[in-house]
Amino acid sequence: MPYAIVAVVAAYLFYAATQIDFQRRAGTLGPDVWPKLVLGLTIAVCLYEIVRLLLLPRRRGGAAGVLQELAAESMAKHGGGEAQAPGPASPLMLLGGIALTALYVWIIPRSGFVLATAPYLAAFIALGGYRRWAVNAATSVIGTLAMMFFFMKVVYVSLPIGQEPFAQVTLALMRLMGIR
């Protein structure tokens, strides 16, 4: 039933997205493309799940547990022993994540997307317990630049450039990445 409800809501929103009025320009995507794409994919996934549940009623687990199964198979294949259960939930870790996110929201308009997001990602990864610092730093920087490129160059979403002098870093990166 939840899939049917989500599909109906997504279909209504898709219809609403077809009513977006804008001036078309040659060679550019309109503001209706991304909402319609996301909603179309949502409808497709819902329909797939509805059909799957109707045809395979005993297999209702869906994708839940797939990662655990893959990890267990890999452990068995490579001799890693038993898969470890996740550690206990940590209220302090949760509060730390909330505090980091609140700080990120406060700092992003001042320092800009790049200079706020890379340290935020690094701190969030470290808070989660990952201790390979070089991998953490590379993931944070590459991930931030990839998101910046995708959002600004592909999706045409404006991201905060920050206040001076931080704006100069963002503008220099935009020039290097060919973002206008």
Mean pLDDT of the residues in the chain: 84
Residue bearing tokens 């059909």: 51
Q: Answer positive or negative: Cα dihedral of 109, 172, 149, 132.
A: negative
Answer whether residue 60 shows pLDDT above 60. Answer: no
pLDDT digits (tens, 9 = 90+) for 130-142: 888 999 999 999 9
CA distance 120 to 137: 11
CA distance 58 to 22: 47
The per-residue pLDDT for 17 is 84
Residue type, 45: V
* Of 63, 2, 6, 62, the residue nearest 39 (C-alpha): 6
Distance of CA 86 to the CA centre of its chain: 23
CA distance 77 to 25: 55
Residue pair 125/100 in contact (Cβ under 8 Å)? The answer is no
pTM (two decimals): 0.59
The per-residue pLDDT for 35 is 85
> In sequence order, what are the residues at sequence separation of 6 or more whose Cβ sits closer than 8 angstroms to the Cβ of residue 74?
80
The per-residue pLDDT for 59 is 58
Answer whether residue 1 shows pLDDT above 60. Answer: yes
